[in-house]
């Protein structure tokens, strides 16, 4: 447990008691997902908790995180709890025969056993996963930025309603968002670490979309890792905000235009994992059997945490925490669910 890295705000005011917090969590989730679906033209679908290991559908994340695996006795097959639904959603869009400029969204629940647990990170991940079909001609930054603006609009609309109902809450999400690439950020702050760069840009601009994550920068390093087989590293990014309650950056969403056949080959080669081309999903993509899409994940507990002005993600979701973490938080008026 990363209790030593826990951010404890001075003079923390827990503005909602436990019961009111639970009511507010449902209110936030109901409001936001309706606005997200409406603004992005999405329909809600069911989604898997686990996928077949041999399908290649699981998100590889940074390539080092261990998935939770188990076997199904009746089928004699090995399964993995999903890390995300990035690839599964693209398959679902094909299967459901969704039209261009329409898409799907779902609740994604995952277990990330190797996560370092702190005020923003839990082993339990809950997010809205969404995916939308786009035309080939729309695989560009304009499409990406338009979707970012749309999500920010849905977030701010939700925030406006929440602070009307729970009047002592403060708004911390701003619709006006700054776009910057990882290379531009490295050029601007060459002596800082990637996380320090994110803090500086978010402190200055409040809402930031950090673009082009996954490839190597001019200094020979990566800003952050991205699996090579879902996002196009030149057409992706994270929605980041500055959160004054903790004086830190909070990532609310990771999203991007997905790889086409050419991009997949290039990125698999860069990541030294060409063997993935043999997976069924990758074969379909290489044979142009899957639609061109844009999609991402939006953290449910992260959104609730910020909109409800909480200091710890455990205040808005039931996770697993050490006794030391629970006791440290309780002393500061931070009550974990």
Residues carrying an active site annotation: 59, 112, 127, 238, 251, 254
312 CB-contact burial (10 Å; exposed 0-12 / middle 13-18 / buried 19+): buried
DSSP 21-41: HHHHHHHHHHHHHHHHHHHHT
Any residues with CB less than 8 A from the CB of 266 and at least 6 apart, and which?
A: none
- Contact yes or no for 305/285 (Cβ under 8 A): no
Report how far residue 200's alpha carbon sits from residue 190's, in angstroms, rounded to the nearest whole number.
12
Look at residues 141, 86, 106 and name the one whose alpha carbon lies nearest to residue 36.
106
Cα–Cα–Cα angle for 302, 47, 22, rounded to 5 degrees: 35
Phi, psi at 171, each rounded to 5°: -85, 130
Q: Helix (H, G, I), strand (E, B), or coil: what is residue 257?
A: strand
Q: What is the SS3 assignment for 316-332?
A: CCCCCCCHHHHHHHHHC
197 CB-contact burial (10 Å; exposed 0-12 / middle 13-18 / buried 19+): buried
The residues pairing with 184 across neighbouring beta strands, listed in sequence order, are none
Q: Which residue has the tokens 């044979």?
A: 287
Report how far residue 258's alpha carbon sits from residue 132's, in angstroms, rounded to the nearest whole number.
10
- Contact yes or no for 102/297 (Cβ under 8 A): no
The residues pairing with 180 across neighbouring beta strands, listed in sequence order, are 210
Residue 62 tokens, joined:
């940074």
Report how far residue 237's alpha carbon sits from residue 254's, in angstroms, rounded to the nearest whole number.
6
């Amino acid at each position: 447990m990363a209790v030593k890295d826990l951010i404890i705000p001075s003079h923390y005011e827990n503005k909602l008691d436990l019961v009111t917090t639970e009511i507010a969590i449902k209110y936030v989730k109901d409001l936001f997902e309706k606005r997200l679906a409406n603004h992005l033209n999405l329909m809600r679908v069911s989604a898997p908790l686990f996928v077949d290991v041999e399908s290649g559908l699981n998100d590889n994340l940074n390539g080092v995180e261990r998935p939770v695996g188990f076997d199904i006795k009746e089928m004699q097959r090995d399964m993995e709890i999903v890390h995300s639904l990035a690839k599964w959603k693209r398959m679902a869009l094909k299967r459901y025969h969704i039209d261009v400029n329409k898409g799907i969204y779902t609740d994604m629940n995952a277990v990330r056993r190797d996560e370092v647990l702190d005020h923003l990170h839990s082993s339990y991940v809950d997010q809205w996963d969404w995916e939308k079909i786009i035309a080939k001609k729309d695989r560009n930054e304009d499409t990406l930025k338009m979707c970012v603006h749309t999500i920010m609009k849905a977030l701010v609309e939700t925030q406006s309603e929440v602070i009307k109902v729970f009047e002592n809450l403060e708004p911390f999400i701003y619709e006006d968002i700054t776009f910057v690439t990882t290379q531009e950020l490295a050029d601007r702050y060459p002596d800082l670490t990637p996380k320090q760069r994110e803090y500086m840009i978010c402190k200055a601009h409040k809402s930031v979309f950090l673009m082009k994550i996954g490839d190597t920068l001019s200094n020979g390093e990566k800003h952050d890792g991205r699996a090579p087989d879902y996002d196009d590293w030149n057409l992706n990014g994270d929605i980041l905000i500055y959160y004054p309650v903790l004086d830190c950056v909070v990532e609310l969403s990771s999203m991007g235009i997905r790889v086409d056949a050419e991009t997949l080959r290039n990125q698999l080669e860069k990541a030294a994992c060409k063997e993935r081309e043999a997976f069924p999903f990758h074969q379909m993509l290489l044979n142009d059997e899957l639609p061109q899409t844009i999609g991402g994940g939006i953290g449910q507990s992260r959104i609730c945490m910020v909109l409800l002005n909480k200091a710890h993600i455990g205040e808005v979701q039931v996770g697993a925490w050490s006794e030391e973490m629970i006791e440290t938080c309780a002393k500061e008026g931070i009550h974990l669910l």
